[in-house]
Amino acid sequence: MSDLSAPAMRSDLRWIRGTFLFGVAVLFPLFATPFQIDLASQVLLACIGSLSLMILTGFAGQVSLGHAGLIAAGAFTTGILTKEFHVPVFLTVPAAALMGMMLGLVFGLPSLRLRGLYLAVSTLALHFVIIYLGGEYETKRGFSTGILIEPPSIFGYRLTDGRGWYILFLLAALAVFWLLKNLLRGRTGRAWGAMQVNEAVATALGINVPRAKLMAFAISSAITAVAGALFASYRGFVSVDAFPLMLSVQYVAMIIVGGMGSLWGAILGAAFLTIMPYVVEALVMLLPGASSHANQISAINYTVFGLIMIVFLVLEPGGLVAIGARIRDLLQTARFRVRPLQRVP
């Protein structure tokens, strides 16, 4: 095989692998239980949110702890537009994206002067401001249990079945992945990469660093708000209790566990940490005297979450992507290992 044909073959293999995975994902609802479909939908929603944060933190190098607030902003935008103005749900998604983009531009302004921990604290204010405003709206409008949202209709089909939601989330996650993948390959992605390495060098290369930062905040916030809008429509209600500060920490953990600077890392981290609590609960229920541990599952989940974060930060900073790459290299080494020559009789 010539060296020129090797890249083409690798590209063909990627297309075949991608087509196979897409086919499996599409056919998944046909043999999955309602619980499994709901869990897969949660994973896809988490993937959208983690991809948006990966763009901001993993590629542009801007630390943010306001992710839960942006998800809440998208969710409340959908809830208010449908409840107060009777706007169709499918129109609330672009409205939520616009709201997220504006919030990203506003709260991205401190990034022009602040870095690191100071920037993280400034974005933390975004969370508290949005949660406070959402709580005030619920109280004054008498929505003590949250804003109820009617199931949306798409082309006359009312989304009440989990399979329909799953397909919608799958298409949305694929669209976000494709958009960000192409964005990173272009001038914007290269500007973010240079800015992350060294802002002074990026400026010397002619990159408009303030513009690149604000663009990262705007794009990331818009996608995050879309995830919030989809979440609100899927659950059928919006309440500030669904967006605690811990949610922002969990999304930061997703991109760390998955692998910083990798879109696939964001997907792996989102899937791993979304499924993990259910796995922990199932294992706890297998222990002797499981009923006595039922009230401690939440504490056990937080403990396991903290241990996982410590393990990845200390032992594997590259995340699941680095582990996967190491396993792949080992398999390739074992596959192409030269066998010892045998004597010819």
pLDDT digits (tens, 9 = 90+) for 57-74: 999 999 999 999 999 999
Tokens 């401001």 sit at which residue? Answer: 129
Least confident of 119-133, 210-224, 291-305: 291-305
Tokens 């390739």 sit at which residue? Answer: 332
Q: 292: pLDDT confidence band, cut at 50, 70 and 90? A: low
DSSP 8-state class, residue 56: I
**If you average pLDDT over residues 231-259, what whole number do you get?**
95
Q: 253: pLDDT confidence band, cut at 50, 70 and 90? A: very high
- The pLDDT of residue 342: 52
DSSP H or E segment with residue 227: helix 209-235
pLDDT digits (tens, 9 = 90+) for 89-148: 889 999 999 999 999 999 899 888 888 888 898 899 989 999 999 999 998 988 877 899
- The pLDDT of residue 291: 67
Residue type, 43: V
Contact 220, 53 (CB under 8 A): yes
Distances (CA, A) of 52 to 49, 159, 220, 263: 5, 25, 5, 9
* pLDDT beyond 90 at 161: no
